[in-house]
Structure 1
Amino acid sequence: MTPRIARAALALLLLSPACAARQQWHGAPAADGRASSVGAISTLAADLDALFDTPPFDTALWSVRIERAGGDVLYEKNPRALAMPASNMKIVTMATAAEALGWDYRFETRLVAEGDVRDGVLHGDLRVIGGGDPSISSVGFGPAPLFGEWARALRAAGITRVTGRLIGDDNAFDDERLGSGWAWDYLAWGYAAPVSALQYGENVAVLRMRAGAREGDPVEVIASPPGHGLRILSTVRTGAPDATANIELERLPGQPTLTVTGVVPAGRPVNIRTASIDNPTQFFVDAFREVLVDSGITVAGPAVDIDETEGYAPSGAPRTIATHQSPPLSELGAHFMKVSQNMYGETFLKAMGRDRAGKILESWGIAPGTYNIADGSGLSRYNLIHASMLTTILRRMYEDDRHRAWFSATLPVAGHDGTLGRRMIGTELQRAVQAKTGTIANARSLSGYLTAPSGERVIFSIMGNNFLRRASEIDAVAEAALTRVLRELASRSPQPPAPASR
């Protein structure tokens, strides 16, 4: 959001007839000389109604609820109207996963040798048993350090040759890799990466695009890390130095061919995009096998997804060679929420189970049939929730001593980090807002906590759907609303008593 848009939205609010009236009347005086809260709240509501209902924003569907942490409702607009939350769905996923699994929960991945070991040879298969760890990643466009550690563990176990296969076991999760309701034109991009119980490099290939020396020259496209399995077909060309980089990706589900088109300006730094890979389990074992071979460990058989081994049975007695544990959920959750990492959301939902998430929500007073959860990330357009549901969840996290600090630490902070790092800078809201953003086509959301200078905490959810304006304009409306609330809280803060007459 640009400062110009923010100023315009706030000016629209402050110059509205309702707000102008507020300059003259703050409600009937109370016994202590302060305006009555009833009058103040009704005026705040009129001001915010004027903001949300002013063209061109009046044609959007707004679901809004703003309440004090103590329980008083400051403002509502269609608070139970079902809306697409976009990445505000991650609030639901994070809260229920924390309740179901605990903040100390760690995902486990095991390397198992199946068969007898004689004279440095494993007569059987190597099997990698995944538990859903989303954090095993490559470093510097190369392989994961974990793979090197496991190669050394195999040598320490006396294994330098495997007669069988390298099998990726992803049976801890079902085989539905994509979320229900994901748009087909998302699927080639890294933000729509599939999910599996065996995952590597966030299930994406990193594409580095280096422009040529002259306009019209082909652009070099380098895909990493090794083992991605994509077949790159690129027609990207070098554009003029003042051109804007414009890259499009296309890949059909189940197919390895990735088509890359567009323009990269001449003389600019390397342009980077991420592309989803097709099968995370196959990606993992292919990449691991390459490291084993480079480390001098021969694997005679292929690297395979266990789903491709019809009638699979262990080739021998299993022996655990190495076990890897992920960072705790508290750390994974901070990455998930701060940068809005979709694949983590799908992982958390599968790890706890959709039914378990629903039972947790019901225990919090959110009845089945009042919402629809289609995925864990918010990428699906089938997700339908409402502002009251989000503020209920946010309140549960705030009031529960087990969750308050950990959950708050996952949220982006305005003007400081995550997806809010470049928003609200230099405004009253900078560092006063801790909230989750959300964006898909024609849906924008912001839900979380607002802290007044006095320390008073407000819980809020603002979701806008079905708009034809730029997302930055919807952001401006939400931020203007929060600014108005912040000023209302400041105007109601208890004033120090007047000095006694002498």
Structure 2
Amino acid sequence: MIERSAILRDHFTGFALFDVQSNRMVFEKNSALHFIPASNTKLFTFYTCLNVLGDSIPGIRYVTRNDSLIFWGTGDPSLLHTYLKSDRIFNFFKTSNKKLFYSPDNYSGDVFGRGWPLDNYNDYYQAEITDLPLEDNVAVVRRRADGSLSISPRIFQSSLRKDGSFRPETFTVKRQVEDNVFIYPAGEIPDGFKQEIPWKTSPALTASLLQDTLKRSVGLVHLRMPKAASTLYSIPADSVYKRMLQVSDNFLAEQLLLVCSSKLYGALSTDSVINYSASRYLSDLPDPIQWVDGSGLSRHNLFTPRSIVKLLVKIKQKVGDEEKLHDFLPAGGMSGTLRLAYKTDEGKPFVWAKTGSLSNNHNQSGYLITRKGRHLVFSFMNNNYVRPTSEVRSEMVRIMTDIHNQF
């Protein structure tokens, strides 16, 4: 099926298929060559979190000094998040009888990962990386019933401006690169218009947003976090992992690596936790890895299909419960990024996998159960094609479905 596929002949394809019961590789094509993994990178982030974090996400670190509560972020993405409904940190701030002071001094990293494209700064999937994210670090612009535009958080409303010189092909809102001025073209705003745009982060803005939401003063200080600082946990870790993997949430993936760094070192460093995980948990992979971010937005990431298969086997062993493992991942024909890609087999999914897409690249890596009951692990990677991604995706689905049906 692989060799005879006309669609797979015109680009770089790698495939590895592993049988769990017999503990052997069933088929390999270019499995020892390195591919750009895109969001398959999130599997590496997931495995790191499984090893470093416990059942709950550490939300903040804090100390009390006289009448003051001083706090540091851990990278926890759940504070006022759109879908991760956790209010423990918010209520802790809201009900504290201390004066609140936020210190950003445990993170000095960049707001973008290494190799991220600057021209995607206005796209919802490239929110900036921060120590204390709020509301997904993304502003939401909507058309009101009266035909005007609103933006949330409301602190940005005065920075939402009509610009007659801005003439995009279709109606869109664009943030200026270096600040939080959001411009939109003259003319009628389409019905139902909604756009999510990452805001330009800063410690001062974080303090202001938190103050605006809490309706109480939040000061900004610059203090080194003491090792004895207390930890307040925010949300069950599994709920964050599931959201990250099901919808391929880049923001959650990047922030989770910072949370791991906070747990290990106190300071927040993506590079440090990647190096720690690579040397401590991934040294037994069959090929060297080049891993630079949590989400896979960077094209600097490079993994081989057989290394991803090995990782998936390690994830399966770490989670232990196969049903629980499948619940984390998109299920073909049922949920997440594979809901529309596959058909089920008499109402039951047979593939659970992480997708990964960038321009000219599309991959799937995960688990497959055949009609004969064989439990397989696979990594199917496609790089550097110029045909529509839908054609490559459909061919991958056809082949994986045939494997399910025949074996």
TM-score tier after normalising by the smaller chain length? 0.7 to 0.9
Aligned pair partner of 1:127 in 70, 73, 81: 70
Contact 1:230–1:258 at 8 Å: present in 2 too?
no
Which whole-Å CA distance do the structure 1 matches of 2:173 and 2:153 have between them? 20
Change in Cα spacing, 1:323 to 1:72, as seen in structure 2 (3 Å) is closer
Query: Where does residue 150 of structure 2 map in the other structure?
Result: 222
Q: How does 1:52-451 map to 2 (within 5 A)?
A: 54-55=6-7, 57-70=8-21, 71-102=23-54, 104-110=55-61, 113-116=64-67, 126-137=69-80, 149-150=91-92, 152-154=94-96, 157=97, 167-210=101-144, 220-227=148-155, 231-234=159-162, 247=172, 249-252=174-177, 254-260=178-184, 266=190, 268=191, 270-279=192-201, 281-293=203-215, 297=216, 299=217, 303-304=219-220, 306=221, 309=222, 312=223, 324-352=232-260, 353-366=273-286, 370-400=288-318, 402=320, 404=322, 406-425=324-343, 431-451=349-369
How far is 1:452 from its partner?
Answer: 1.6
What is the aligned-residue RMSD (CA, Å)?
3.4
User: For 1:49, what is the secondary structure of its paired residue?
Assistant: coil
- 1:454 Cα shift? 3.3
Partner residue in 1 for 2:264: none
452-461 or 466-475: bigger deviation: 452-461
- Please name the residue that 1:458 is paired with: 376
Report the counterpart of residue 265 of structure 2 in structure 1.
none
Question: Which residue type is aligned with residue 183 of structure 2?
Answer: T
SS at 1:327 equivalent: strand
Structure 1: any 5+ residue segments left out of the alignment?
1-46, 117-124, 213-218, 237-243, 490-502
Q: CA deviation at 1:373?
A: 0.7
1:493 corresponds to which residue?
Answer: none
Instruction: Please give the TM-score of this superposition, normalised by the length of structure 1.
Output: 0.69
Report which stretch shifted further, 398-407 or 336-345: 398-407
Aligned letter for 2:103?
D
In 2, distance between residues paired with 1:428 and 1:245?
Answer: 42
Take 1:264 and 1:49, find their aligned partners in 2: how far apart are those partners?
Answer: 52
Contact 1:198 1:280 in 2 (8 A): no
Separation of aligned partners in 2, 1:341 and 1:264: 32
Q: Which amino acid aligns with 2:73?
A: G
> Given the superposition, is the C-alpha separation of residues 203 and 464 from structure 1 closer, same or farther in structure 2, using an over 3 Å criterion?
same
Are residues 280 and 229 of structure 1, via their aligned partners in 2, closer, same or farther at CA, if it must alter by over 3 Å?
farther
Contact in 2 for aligned 1:397/1:403 (Cα 8 Å): no
1:348 CA drift (Å): 2.2
Q: Are the counterparts in 2 of residues 178 and 195 from structure 1 also a CA contact under 8 Å?
A: yes
Shift of 1:246: 5.5
| 2:405 is aligned with 1:487 | yes
Letter of the 1:345 counterpart? A
Aligned partners of 1:230, 1:88: CA distance in 2, in Å?
39
Rg comparison, structure with higher value:
1
Distance (Å, rounded) in 2 between the aligned partners of 1:134 and 1:196? 9
In structure 2, the CA distance between the partners of 1:109 and 1:437, relative to structure 1 (3 Å rule), is same
Residues 293-312 of structure 1 show CA distances to partners (whole Å, capped at 9, x for unaligned) of 4xxx4x3xx743x5xx4xx4
CA distance in 1, matches of 2:71, 2:204: 11
CA–CA separation in structure 2 for the residues paired with 1:204 and 1:362: 33
- Please give the per-residue CA displacement for 1:216-273, whole angstroms capped at 9, x wherever unaligned: xxx632111244698333459xxxxxxx975363431x4222334599875x4x2222
Q: Is the 8 A contact 1:181 1:380 kept in 2?
A: yes
Do the aligned partners of residues 128 and 341 (structure 1) sit closer, same or farther apart at CA in structure 2, a change above 3 Å counting?
Answer: same
Give identity over the alignment, percent. 22
Output the CA distance in 2 between the equivalents of 1:448 and 1:230: 46
Q: Number of aligned pairs?
A: 389
Task: Determine the C-alpha separation between the residues in 2 that align with 1:264 and 1:63.
Answer: 48
Q: Distance in 2 between matches of 1:426 and 1:265?
A: 40
Superposition TM-score, scaled by structure 2 size: 0.83
1:299-341 deviation line (CA, Å, top 9, x unaligned): 3xx743x5xx4xx489xx9x99x97422222221111111111
Between 417-426 and 184-193, report the one with greater CA deviation: 417-426
Cα distance in structure 2, aligned partners of 1:470 and 1:428: 29
Residue 30 (structure 2) pairs with residue 48 (structure 1): no
Q: 1:405 and 1:284, CA in 2 relative to 1: closer, same or farther beyond 3 A?
A: farther
Q: Measure the CA separation in 2 of the matches of 1:183 and 1:430.
A: 39
Return closer, same or farther for 1:426/1:449 CA change in 2, 3 Å cut-off: closer
Q: Helix, strand or coil: the match of 1:247?
A: coil
- Partner of 1:50, secondary structure, is coil
* Alpha-carbon displacement from aligned partner over 1:389-436 (angstroms, at most 9, x marks no partner): 110101112234647554432111111111122221356796111011
AA of the residue aligned to 1:233: R
Q: 1:425 to 1:287 in 2, by over 3 A?
A: same
> Residues 263 and 313 from structure 1, CA distance in 2 versus in 1: closer, same or farther, beyond 3 angstroms?
same
Rounded Cα–Cα distance in structure 1 between residues aligned with 2:62 and 2:390: 47
Q: Secondary structure at the match of 2:18?
A: strand
